[in-house]
């Protein structure tokens, strides 16, 4: 069986139950030391499967950009939700992720019939939803959302690099690489850093 058919198992099942507008939801940026968490919601037309769709982390940057364009052209609706580092520090990363996902659903052109979410249940959502562990590897809709979220966040981090070039955000996208941590030790932190995250919280304790 072709891989893309395996990725459509959940969608096929929901379509058989009468759901037509199925939405995949995923996020990018829960783990980095800097920058926002970005969520995406994608409603694809029923039975439309894009070849080469996969978990965004398994794709090259060039392939993600190509698939980002394909998804954007074909999707019935795409929503984006962005929650910045200040709110992440205020409410913690899990609640910030929930907020980003709630925002992304509110930014869709219309409400889906059913939501497939990578690994989480979104609070305060009345639309039926299912959490799928490793959903970005198992659901076409979630994989599409993972690509939209990842490319959107990477583009933001490239933009931030223009203002904060000392940190190398264009390369590590805010993750805690050795070079990033060394830059923090050398230059201190900037407004994009999540002060509640170790090792930043250890180096620069919140007052």
Residue with tokens 């996020």: 27
The arithmetic mean of pLDDT across residues 23-31, rounded, is: 97
Per the CB < 8 A criterion, the answer to whether 156 and 80 are in contact is no
How high is the pLDDT of residue 207? 64
The span from the CA of 69 to the CA of 87, in Å, is: 30
Q: What is the dihedral of CA 163, 164, 168, 174, to 10 degrees?
A: -100
**CATH number attached to the domain at 3-203:** 3.30.420.10
The arithmetic mean of pLDDT across residues 29-56, rounded, is: 94
**Residue 196 confidence (pLDDT) above 50:** yes
33 to 22, 29, 84, 143, 184: CA distances (angstroms)? 33, 9, 12, 24, 10
Can you read off the two tokens belonging to residue 170?
């264009």
The span from the CA of 61 to the CA of 76, in Å, is: 24
**Residue 1 confidence (pLDDT) above 60:** no
172: helix, strand or coil: helix
Q: What are the residue ranges spanned by the domains of the chain?
A: 3-203
Q: Which residues pair with 42 in a beta bridge?
A: 24, 78
Can you read off the two tokens belonging to residue 133?
């562990």
Can you read off the two tokens belonging to residue 132?
């799928």
The span from the CA of 34 to the CA of 51, in Å, is: 33
- Convert the pLDDT of each residue in 10-21 to its tens digit: 999 999 999 999
How high is the pLDDT of residue 58? 86
The arithmetic mean of pLDDT across residues 113-133, rounded, is: 97
CA 69 to chain CA centroid, nearest Å? 16
**Residue 6 confidence (pLDDT) above 50:** yes
- Convert the pLDDT of each residue in 146-184 to its tens digit: 999 999 999 999 999 999 999 999 999 999 999 999 999
Burial class (CB within 10 angstroms; exposed 0-12, middle 13-18, buried 19+) of 139 = buried
């Amino acid at each position: 069986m072709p891989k893309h058919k395996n990725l459509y198992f959940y969608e096929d099942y929901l379509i058989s139950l009468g759901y037509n507008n199925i939405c995949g939801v995923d996020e990018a940026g829960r783990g980095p030391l800097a920058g926002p968490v970005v969520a995406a919601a994608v409603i694809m037309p029923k039975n439309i499967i894009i070849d080469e769709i996969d978990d965004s982390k398994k794709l090259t940057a060039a392939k993600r950009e190509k698939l980002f364009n394909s998804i954007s052209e074909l999707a019935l609706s795409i929503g984006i939700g962005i929650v910045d580092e200040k709110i992440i520090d205020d409410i913690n990363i899990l609640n910030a992720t929930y907020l980003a996902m709630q925002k992304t659903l509110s930014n869709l052109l219309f409400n889906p019939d059913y939501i497939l979410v990578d690994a989480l249940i979104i609070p305060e959502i009345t639309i039926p939803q299912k959490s799928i562990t490793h959903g970005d590897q198992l659901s076409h809709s979630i994989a599409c959302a993972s690509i939209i979220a990842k490319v959107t966040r990477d583009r933001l981090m490239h933009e931030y690099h223009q203002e904060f070039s000392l940190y190398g955000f264009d390369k590590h996208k805010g993750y805690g690489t050795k070079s990033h941590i060394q830059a923090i030790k050398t230059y201190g932190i900037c407004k994009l850093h999540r002060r509640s995250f170790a090792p930043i919280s250890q180096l620069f304790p919140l007052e």
